[in-house]
Structure 1
C-alpha cells in the first residue's frame, strides 16, 4: 500500500546549508568536531522531523501500538534517534533502548538524497506490491522540508524481501532498496564515516508518556515482580485514544527523573521492568512507558495507527 500526502519534495539541503551558512557568518563561530555546530544556532525549528522510519498497524496490542518508537528519526538540527538492540529477557526492560547521535547539517542533506533515491518522496515511486501474509505492520517512511511532507507506506516490508509469495521480482527489488535505506539510516558510522558521526549515547528524555491498564498476573506461573510506588501523576489518567480502555499520563520534571531512574536498566534504582505492578491510588497498574521524542509534547502525540 502506498500513501502520499502533501506536495512534491524539493531539495532540503539547500535550505539547511543556507541557514547554517548565514548563522556562521553572523556568529563567526567555527566547527567544534564531528556533529558539532560550532555555535551555529541551526534551523529555526531544531525539533522538526526531516526523516522518519516507523512501523504502523499490524496485529499488536493497543498499548504496544501506542508506545512503540520509530526505527529512526532524523531531526533538522542533525540529531538522530534510533532504537537500539533489545534484550532477550523476560520480563523485558521497562524502557525502550533509545540511542542518540548527531551529524553535521550537510550530512542531513545526504540522507535526504539517499531516501529520495530509494523511492521516498519520488514522483515516480516504484510498485512495492503486497505480499501474501497477514497481520503484519507496514513500514512508513516520512520525508519533510519547508515545502511540505511526503509519506510512503509499504506493507510487510521485511517479510516481502524474505521470500513471501505474491510479489514480482521487480517488487522485491524495490523493497530491497528500502531495506538498504533503513540500514543506511541505522548505521550512520558505516554510511557517513565514523569521524563524521557523534558516538551514540542513551537518549535522555525530558518527559515520559505512561499508558496504564489494571495489572493482571501472568498465567504462565512466573512470579510477579515486586510492587513499585508510582512516582508520577495519578493513574490511569485520561483515555490514551478514542475507543481504548487504557489511560495515559505525561510524567515530567522531578517525577520523570524518579521514574526514569526506577525503570532504567542498571539505573540507580533499577527496580522496575515491563511486568512491574506500579501502585497508584491503592491499586496496581501495568504501565507501558514511552520516552517522548523531541517533536512530541505528550500523550496526544503517541502513535495510534
Structure 2
C-alpha cells in the first residue's frame, strides 16, 4: 500500500520559451528503475506547478514540502510520487520524472487559464479548519497568474460559506488540478524514472528519541556540517545544501535511512528532513518562502 505526499499545484508557463528550449519529438524518459539526473543543457524554467500552502503541519514539513507536479519548459514533468505506508517512512521522497512534448505544455498552459487561474480571484473560505490551500501558478508571456483556494479538495459542495460563483470556480479549478495530478499515469506517458537532483537540502533540527525503538543507530553525517543556517529560528530548523561528491554521499546514506534516523555531526545528533532541490531551485534561500 502506498500514499502520496501533500498536494500542491503551482503552474508556471512561458509559451514563448518552448519553441527555443523544448524540442519536438523528445525521446521519452526511460523506465522507473533508471535514475535521471539534471543536465546543464536542460531548460530549468518551471512552466507548470501544483503545490499545497499552509495547513496544520510541523514547520519543517512546511519548509521541506515538495510541489506535487512541476512542468518545465523543456517538457520534463517532475512529480512527488507514492511512498510505502511504513513507519518510520523512508528518508528520501519518491521524486519521479517524465517527458512530454512542447504541444502538451502549451495545452496545459491554455487549460490552466481556462480553468480560472487568475491572480486575485476570491475562491472563498469554506468552513474547514487547519487544511492547506492549493496554489496553481501560471506564468505566460503576458505575466504570472496565481490561483489559491483553501481546502479545494475537501470542502463540501454545499458549503454555505461559499457563493454559487465560488463553488463553480472551485469545481473548475479542482478539475484542472485533477488533470495535472493524473498526468503521470495518463495514456501515452512514458514510465516514470527516478529523479536525482544536482543539489539536495538537509533541514536539520535537534534529534529527540521518539521512544519507539525504530530510529536505528546513529549515522555519521557525510555532508556539510550540521545544522547550517537558520530557516526557522523559533523551531530550531536549520538548512545546509550539498552538491557534487558531497551530494552523492548524502544521497547514498539517505537511501539507507528513515525519517527518524539520528545523524551525527559536530558531536551532536540531528533529525534531518531531506528536500531534493528542483531544477529551478538553488540553495536554502529557495525554501524560505515555503509555507
User: Could you state the TM-score of these two structures normalised by the residue count of structure 2?
Assistant: 0.83
Structure 2 counterparts to residues 69-148 of structure 1, below 5 A = 69-121=66-118, 125=121, 128-148=123-143
Match of 2:216 among 221, 225, 236: 225
3-state SS of the aligned residue for 2:79? strand
Measured in 2, the distance between the counterparts of 1:17 and 1:70 equals: 22
Measured in 1, the distance between the counterparts of 2:29 and 2:198 equals: 22
Match of 1:46 among 38, 43, 48: 43
Q: Is residue 16 of structure 2 the alignment partner of residue 31 of structure 1? A: no
Do the aligned residues in 1 keep the contact of 2:92 with 2:274 (CA within 8 Å)? yes
Do the aligned residues in 1 keep the contact of 2:28 with 2:100 (CA within 8 Å)? yes
Do the aligned residues in 1 keep the contact of 2:47 with 2:71 (CA within 8 Å)? yes
Q: Is residue 291 of structure 2 the alignment partner of residue 300 of structure 1? A: no
Q: C-alpha offsets along residues 98-156 of structure 1, whole Å, 9 cap, x if unaligned? A: 11111111110000011111111389x5x522111111111111111343211111111
Q: C-alpha offsets along residues 75-120 of structure 1, whole Å, 9 cap, x if unaligned? A: 1111111111132111011111111111111110000011111111
Do the aligned residues in 1 keep the contact of 2:55 with 2:133 (CA within 8 Å)? yes
Shift of 1:207: 1.1
3-state SS of the aligned residue for 1:160? coil
Measured in 2, the distance between the counterparts of 1:225 and 1:55 equals: 31
Q: Which residue number in structure 2 is paired with residue 262 of structure 1?
A: 253
Do the aligned residues in 1 keep the contact of 2:123 with 2:148 (CA within 8 Å)? no
More moved, 277-286 vs 164-173? 164-173
Do the aligned residues in 1 keep the contact of 2:18 with 2:73 (CA within 8 Å)? no
More strand by share: 2
Number of residue-to-residue matches in the alignment: 269
User: Could you state the TM-score of these two structures normalised by the residue count of structure 1?
Assistant: 0.79
Q: Is residue 194 of structure 2 the alignment partner of residue 202 of structure 1? A: yes
Q: Which residue number in structure 2 is paired with residue 236 of structure 1?
A: 227
* C-alpha RMSD over aligned residues: 2.7
Match of 1:253 among 244, 249, 268: 244
Shift of 1:206: 1.1
Measured in 1, the distance between the counterparts of 2:81 and 2:238 equals: 27
Structure 2 counterparts to residues 163-182 of structure 1, below 5 A = 166-182=161-177
Q: Is residue 266 of structure 2 the alignment partner of residue 281 of structure 1? A: yes
More moved, 248-257 vs 161-170? 161-170
Q: Which residue number in structure 2 is paired with residue 291 of structure 1?
A: 276
Do the aligned residues in 2 keep the contact of 1:72 with 1:81 (CA within 8 Å)? yes
Q: Which residue number in structure 2 is paired with residue 57 of structure 1?
A: 54
3-state SS of the aligned residue for 2:259? coil
| Unaligned 5+ runs, structure 2 | 1-11, 31-40
Change (3 A) 1:170 1:147: closer
Q: Is residue 64 of structure 2 the alignment partner of residue 67 of structure 1? A: yes
Measured in 2, the distance between the counterparts of 1:212 and 1:285 equals: 6
Do the aligned residues in 2 keep the contact of 1:207 with 1:256 (CA within 8 Å)? yes
